[in-house]
A = this chain, B = another copy of it.
Amino acid sequence: MSQQNSTKWTAEVISIGDEMTSGARLDTNAQWLSQRLAELGIEVLFHTTVCDTLAHNVNVFQTAARRVDFVVCTGGLGPTRDDLTREALSEVASDPLELRKQALDHIETLFSSRGRPMSERNRLQAMFPSTSTIIPNPLGTAPGIDLRLREDASDHVCRVFALPGVPAEMMPMFDQYVAPSLVSNNGDQHVIRSLVMKFFGTGESAMEERLGDTIARDRQPRVGITVSAATISLRITAHAETAQECEAMIADTKTEILGRVPEYYFGDGENYEQYHAIDSSLRSRGESLMVVELGYAAPLNDWFASLGDTPSYRGGLSLANERELRRHTSASALAEAITQLKSQFDVDWLLLVDGYPSLNSPLVREPSETMPNASVKMLVSSPDGVLHERKSTIAGHPDILQPRIGKTAMEHLRAVMAATDLA
């Protein structure tokens, strides 16, 4: 019942402007609005971006009015000839535009307060469909429009909130006017919470098979799977009447997931990575680490540096190859070089990657049927000075091959640390 309720309302986000359909600008409003709407328990089914042409704007609003309960659109409310949102809405609603004194006063006040003359065209910004409500815009000259579109055929009503495209004006207008209007529509399930679980070491489809119906689309709470550079994120999203109910549902689902796929899990949080997990176990053991990266990349140097002023990470070194490393430490053997570096950096642990391959091979420049492969040696030196070696053949697209190698090395380090933990 409340489940139904949580998927009862649907929305479409519409962004208006040639600058986006031409690719000159990246639309970030749609993402921001989608996150806010999801938090309000409203499911966003579509984003639409449309150029500054009246007929196409009308087409887009008509299409949206048929398929969702709410539309939040941004852009096209300015004073220029390109700004067609109020005309388009007037046409779709067959509702003539009328001048609203309240809006005109606001615009005139704003101009005089800025000591600027008000152009005739700005009067257009005070024109509204007769059945619409003004959405106040404290920060700009373009008030928003709150209008209900009725379909003659059905009883379906689609409520449109038209906001300016400028994020600094759009965001407060959404928070102060649109969000409260939506919540009052949304029955009892107005609370939404989510948790992101992170995994590394397997592929997306293998992961999905292991998870089975845990990721069924109609399941509550819903579990969504996404992959970024070989790291898998599971997002658990719960709707309920209280935050407490949400947290309980999320906890149960997390337990079920860990029961199915325990071995690749390393932590929770959208931005939580393996180096955070390594940092926290090093801290709890009071131990420290340095990384040495050989070859054509050094992602671990960058990632571990982001930990900043932690006692657990002491720094990193990046060199071309093992010969360079031996020359650098004037050591005759790799083991000797590692011992010297550990004392120079004053660390308990050392992680060495030998090495990141060149991405400039013909294979990578002219991709063939198979992905580039790299046979990589990963060496971990534990506090007792023992060397734990792992050789992996790692494949991946050029854009993610080096990060995947770095992440595989961290997986090796975590495994060695876990083993010495048990010992």
Contact = CB atoms under 8 A, between A and B. Distances in A.
Interface string A14-28: 010011111111111
A46 B53 CA distance: 11
Interface in A112-139: 113-117, 119, 121-122, 138-139
A185 interface: no
A302 B298 contact: yes
A45 B24 contact: no
A328 B306 contact: no
Contact of A51 (B44, B308, B371): B44
Contacts of A221: none
Given A168-B369, A316-B298, A46 B51 contact: yes
Contacts of A56: 45-46, 67
Nearest to A325: B315
A332 interface: no
Nearest to A176: B367
B51 A370 contact: no
Nearest to A140: B397
A35 B23 contact: yes
Contacts of A53: 45, 217
B48 A34 contact: no
Nearest to A222: B18
Interface centre among A21, A78, A119 (most CB of B within 10 A): A21
A411 to B, nearest CB: 16
B47 A356 contact: no
Given A45-B51, A50-B46, A113-B373, A302 B305 contact: no
Contacts of A370: 109-110, 113
A44 B22 contact: yes
What's the dominant secondary structure at chain A's contact region?
Answer: mixed
Interface stretch (A79-87, A148-156, A412-420): A79-87
Interface string A78-114: 1111100000000000000000000000100110011
A356 to B, nearest CB: 7
Contacts of A301: 293, 298, 301-302, 316, 318
Interface stretch (A201-209, A245-253, A258-266): A201-209
A305 B328 contact: no
A383 interface: no
- CB-CB nearest 4 A-B residue pairs: A23-B34, A23-B35, A47-B49, A113-B370
Interface of A: 15, 18-28, 30-38, 43-53, 56, 59-60, 63, 67, 78-82, 106, 109-110, 113-117, 119, 121-122, 138-140, 166-169, 172, 203-206, 208-209, 215-217, 224-226, 235, 293, 295-299, 301-302, 304-309, 313-320, 324, 328, 344-345, 356, 358-360, 367-371, 373, 393, 395, 397-400
13 contacts: A22-B35, A23-B44, A25-B31, A52-B217, A109-B370, A110-B371, A168-B398, A172-B367, A298-B302, A299-B302, A316-B317, A317-B317, A317-B318
Given A20-B31, A80-B225, A82-B225, 18 more contacts: A22-B44, A22-B217, A23-B34, A23-B36, A23-B37, A24-B225, A26-B31, A27-B30, A110-B369, A113-B395, A114-B395, A138-B368, A293-B301, A298-B305, A305-B356, A314-B324, A315-B328, A328-B344
